[in-house]
Amino acid sequence: MNTRAQQLLAPPFATLCRLYPGTALCAVLALAGSFLAEHYGAPALMLVLLLGFGFANQGADVRMEPGVAFCSRHILRIGVALLGARIGVEQLLVVGSLPLLMVLTCVPVVIGAALLLGRWLGLPMLHSLVAGVAVAICGVSAAIAVAAVIPSGRLEDRRLLGVVVGVTALGTLSMLVYPPLLATLGYGDVESGLLLGASIHDVAQAAGAGYLVSESAGDVATLTKLLRVALLAPLVVLLGWLLRRGDSGRTEFPLFLLGFLALFGLNSFGWLPVGLRDGLIAASNACLLVTMAALGMRTTLGDLLAQGWRPMALLAVLSIGLLLTAMAMLAMASP
């Protein structure tokens, strides 16, 4: 190889060598968390996050830090871009007008309430925004997607992790508590499905809660929940534009959103082959797991506990408020 070729290859190779240790450790933790999730039935994202906490000291090592930082920002954006493959406009067309009306009412109400309540609690505006979107749309995936469009340095990792941990715990709790609660209140299968799909944070949790009631309730809950998920694409694009519009100096459009929108469009028109779509969804999940490992390594449990009770109180009040808003919408729509 001549000298010129060596000079051209040296910078990329040096960058790879610098990023490799931290990136490799994040990937190993993601694989370990996935293995544990498959064998014990716990949420993979939560397990990977906990493993990341355990390796926080290694993540702060000067050899690991560049790769961990790369995973927490750039791999995150790749994962969000690939999320477009799981969302499509057909989710808006399958369900009827009542779920659409409920979702279009509940989502802005919850996000607005998050900003107001968060200000009253003394929380940073961006923390409240991420919490509101996580509760209103689809839990962890929505929180990560919004965090990806926030300009670097404006949202602390520990605050994002506080939302991730809280929304996962509340989603699991609601999956267990809401079905018997709605049955006690006298809601039928279809009504229960609507309420579960409109109020539980994660897709799998909403579907699982619905099928605990009945098959028809599970179908309605899944469709209603997917309708909420479909709002993620326009909301993330809008927030990305709003959050960067007021930045001083050069404003960069988050280019990964172009990939998100491209995949969203292809999936909406049915132009993504099933095998490719499944592969992109799997790749997105893998990226998000690697990201969670990196975020866990960059945050200690002490940092999370130092936030106090307010972040969890915000998520709990928003979750209860979401269910009550959905109930009110259902009551107004009933004859």
Q: What is the pLDDT of residues 284-297, one digit of tens each?
A: 888 888 988 887 78
Cα separation, 220 vs 223, in Å, equals: 5
Q: Would you say residue 53 lies in a domain?
A: yes
How far from 218 is each of 107, 111, 209, 212, CA to CA, in Å?
21, 26, 7, 7
Mean pLDDT calculated for residue range 210-227: 77
Query: What's the total number of domains in the chain?
Result: 1
Q: Which amino acid is at 98?
A: L
Residue 145 pLDDT: 83
Mean pLDDT calculated for residue range 136-161: 80
Structure tokens at 242: 């709003």
Mean pLDDT calculated for residue range 119-131: 90
Q: Would you say residue 1 lies in a domain?
A: no
Structure tokens at 270: 């049915």
Q: Would you say residue 230 lies in a domain?
A: yes
Phi and psi dihedrals of 170, rounded to 5?
-70, -35
Q: Would you say residue 55 lies in a domain?
A: yes
Q: pLDDT tens digit string along 29-57?
A: 999 999 998 888 777 877 887 888 888 78
Residue 91 pLDDT: 52
Q: pLDDT tens digit string along 227-255?
A: 787 788 788 888 877 777 655 544 445 56
The residue segments making up the domain with residue 119 are: 20-245+253-330
Share of the chain above pLDDT 90, in %: 15
194 vs 209, residue with greater confidence: 194
CB 335 within 8 A of CB 147: no
Residue 72 pLDDT: 79
Mean pLDDT calculated for residue range 296-322: 80
Asked whether the predicted pLDDT for residue 208 surpasses 50, the reply is yes
Question: Mean of the per-residue pLDDT values for the chain?
Answer: 80
Choose among 132, 58, 62: nearest CA to 123: 132
How far from 216 is each of 220, 225, 267, CA to CA, in Å?
6, 14, 26
Which residues fall within 8 angstroms of residue 139, CB to CB, at 6 or more apart?
A: 167, 168, 171, 201, 202, 205
Residue 1 pLDDT: 47
Q: Would you say residue 54 lies in a domain?
A: yes
Residue 254 pLDDT: 56
Q: Would you say residue 4 lies in a domain?
A: no
Q: pLDDT tens digit string along 50-100?
A: 888 888 788 778 888 889 888 877 887 788 778 778 766 665 555 556 777
Q: Would you say residue 14 lies in a domain?
A: no
Q: Would you say residue 335 lies in a domain?
A: no
Asked whether the predicted pLDDT for residue 155 surpasses 90, the reply is no
